[in-house]
Amino acid sequence: MLQEEALYWLALSRVPGIGPRRFFRLLEAFGSAAGAWTASPALLTGVIGQKLAREFLAYRRTIDVKEEREKLKAKNIKYLLYPEEKYPRLLKKIPDPPPVLYYTGDFQSEDQWAVAVVGSRSATPGGLEIARELAAGLAAQGITVVSGLARGIDTAAHHGALAAGGGRTIAVLGSGLDRIYPRENAELAREISRRGAVCSEFPPGTEPLSGNFPVRNRIISGLSLGVVVVEAAADSGSLITAGHALEQGREVFAVPGPVARKANQGSNRLIKQGAALVEGVADILSALNLPFPAGEETAAASEIAGKPKPTGLTAAEARVWQLLADGPCHVDLLVRESGLPASEVGAALALLEMKGLISAVATKTYQRLSHK
């Protein structure tokens, strides 16, 4: 991507009201972020409606596109754009990936082997200890631990991963990277940046508003092969993360707890609804078909990857089949990456499913099946 186009990605992603779905709709309509940024009022109105177009135009007049990158440099904040090769592979597969991911620290190739550990902010001492032990055990096996830097289970999970020699962890914020929340975790965030990454889709200056956290939770699950809920009350935000994981075709795990304790009502309900019960790290690695240690290609993945492409596929079917090589994909991603019309992708998926080559693992999310 040209540097000038990258500047327009940064600017366009900051426009209030332009979330990931509208961003990619504008990109499709105008061919580039620069084209969307400089579009006429009439054309913008045709894509995003009159009210949002008017707000967009007003915001556009206040922004110097070239200054945005300099502001990030001044704060030592890096960014990844969706098309870039280093953009996290798992996150790229979700229905609404952030066009821009701001971060400190670094992402590594081994972060594709990641598991989220989440739970209650007001956790019990027992819950905190379980979170630390699970995170430390996962990190010791080469698994990157993802969480949200919140008080309680999240904090314990990050500390557990860091306690494992060489363990990596990623924190996903519901605020700008210059607005660490909670404030008492500022030093923890700095340590995570040295041993992993702290990231956010929210640009610098964004306050930790309550509405940001449910949105942020899809990134926690999106960066992960599976989500482990350690301790969650019936109304815990970690249940939202588990819901996102299901929608994204990721595994959901839960640690059981006493049925009479409110702190465990949500996690126990997840198990009742089909989440995998977790008593230790081995349960997680086994369910994800990960070896000890992780980081090597699994036997199942090797078997599928090593087999030739099925014969007799149309061009559209072959393209969709190719895009499913790395694991489950949402229909929206298949449309974006294939460059095919949505109707053609839908038809290809239906035919591949009829041929027994793929299956649906969640709503509008498909994966390959092993074939002979």
Locate the domains of the chain by residue range: 1-71, 104-287, 299-368
pLDDT tens-digit map of 141-188: 999 999 999 999 999 999 999 999 889 999 999 999 999 999 999 999
The Cα–Cα gap between 369 and 372 comes to 10
Q: pLDDT exceeding 70 applies to what percent of the chain?
A: 94
8-state DSSP, 103: E
pLDDT tens-digit map of 258-272: 888 898 999 999 999
pLDDT tens-digit map of 15-41: 999 999 999 999 999 999 999 999 999
pLDDT tens-digit map of 3-14: 889 999 999 999
Looking only at the bridges linking them, the beta strands covering 196-200 and 100-105 are antiparallel
pLDDT at site 2: 74
pLDDT tens-digit map of 200-225: 999 999 999 999 999 999 999 999 99
Tell me the mean pLDDT in the region 39-65.
Answer: 94
Query: Residue 276, SS3?
Result: strand
The Cα–Cα gap between 340 and 78 comes to 32
Tell me the mean pLDDT in the region 76-87.
Answer: 95
**Whole-number average pLDDT of the chain:** 90
In one letter, which amino acid is 66? K
The Cα–Cα gap between 196 and 113 comes to 13
CATH of domain 299-368: 1.10.10.10
Name residues whose C-beta falls within 8 Å of residue 72's C-beta, 6 or more positions apart in sequence: 10, 78, 79, 102, 204
Reply yes or no on whether the pLDDT at 341 is more than 90. Answer: no
Of 1.10.150.20, 2.40.50.140, 3.30.930.10, 1.10.10.10, which CATH number belongs to 1-71?
1.10.150.20
pLDDT at site 291: 67
Which of 88-92, 325-329, 340-344 is predicted least confidently? 325-329
The position carrying tokens 């926690």 is 220
Domain 104-287 has what CATH class? alpha beta
